[in-house]
Amino acid sequence: MKRIMGVLMLGVSGLAMAGGLQSAGNAQEVAKQREARAADIAFWTGGYRGADLVSGRFDCPAPAIPELSRTKAQIKSVSESFQAWQQCYNGFVAKLNETVAQGSRIPADVAGLLTPAEAQQAAAHIERVHASLAAQAQQNSAEVSARFEAWRDATEQFVMADHRARMMERAIASRRAQEREGQQYPRTQPTMGSSEAPPPTRP
């Protein structure tokens, strides 16, 4: 199963440079824009939780895995459920790695309003969020994989034991049928000689 690989890093210097651009503009205009976009600045410096990375097709709820399955239909259902979760998880891994590799996720119009300190704060916050998502995903993956492997082992043992039991039942049933047939149609034993005296011969 895939794991989230690579170092989760974000280009802090790029954000800091973007934040520094505001000094080149009109201070009053920048102040107005910062006030208008205060919610966006607060979101990227502390409110972002990575919801876009764990929603929609990247929302991968853990499959229901019992201790073991006893029928072919149950085995098929659990296997398909696990495979669907695995595909979703692998998609999440790919998306998260792609997002981290792309660097800053802050829209340019918001990044341009950040102060250098806010840019550093936003970069550190986003990196922590991504690292937390990666750690949680790996933990969930390990737990689901462990449950699936335990289910698979228990189910295989049950199937093998059930197969042996059925074979034994068939052997016993066959032997009993042969015994009943033998009682109904007993075999005749061949005669070894006759107890009657031979007829007398004429002189």
pLDDT greater than 80 at residue 112: yes
What is the token pair recorded at 19? 């934040």
Length of the chain: 203
**In this predicted model, what pLDDT tens digit does every residue of 69-104 receive, in sequence order?**
999 999 999 999 999 999 999 999 999 999 988 878
Q: For residue 155, give the amino acid letter.
A: T
**Where does the pLDDT of residue 106 fall: very low under 50, low under 70, confident under 90, or very high at 90 and above?**
very high
pLDDT at 200 over 70: no
pLDDT at 27 over 90: no
- Claim: this prediction has a pTM higher than 0.85: no
Q: How confident is the model at residue 1 (pLDDT cuts 50, 70, 90)?
A: very low
Mean per-residue pLDDT of the chain: 81
Give the separation between CA 96 and CA 82, rounded to whole angstroms: 21
Predicted local confidence at residue 174, as pLDDT: 72
Name the residue with higher pLDDT: 128 or 182.
128
> Is the model's pLDDT at 14 over the cut of 50?
no
pLDDT at residue 57 tops 60: yes
What integer pLDDT is reported at residue 138 of this predicted model?
94
CA distance 16 to 86: 38
Sign for the CA dihedral angle at 79, 85, 86, 87 comes to positive
DSSP class of 22: G
> What's the burial of 123, exposed, middle or buried (CB within 10 Å: 0-12/13-18/19+)?
buried
Contact predicate 15/122, CB 8 Å: yes
Query: pLDDT value at position 183?
Result: 73
Return d(Cα 83, Cα 133) in angstroms, integer.
Answer: 21
Weakest mean pLDDT among 113-122, 131-140, 154-163, 182-191: 182-191
Percent of the chain residues topping a pLDDT of 90? 58
Arithmetic mean of pLDDT, 132-141:
94
Nearest alpha carbon to residue 44 among 119, 154, 146: 119
Q: How confident is the model at residue 170 (pLDDT cuts 50, 70, 90)?
A: confident
Provide the terminal-to-terminal Cα distance of the chain, rounded to the nearest Å.
106
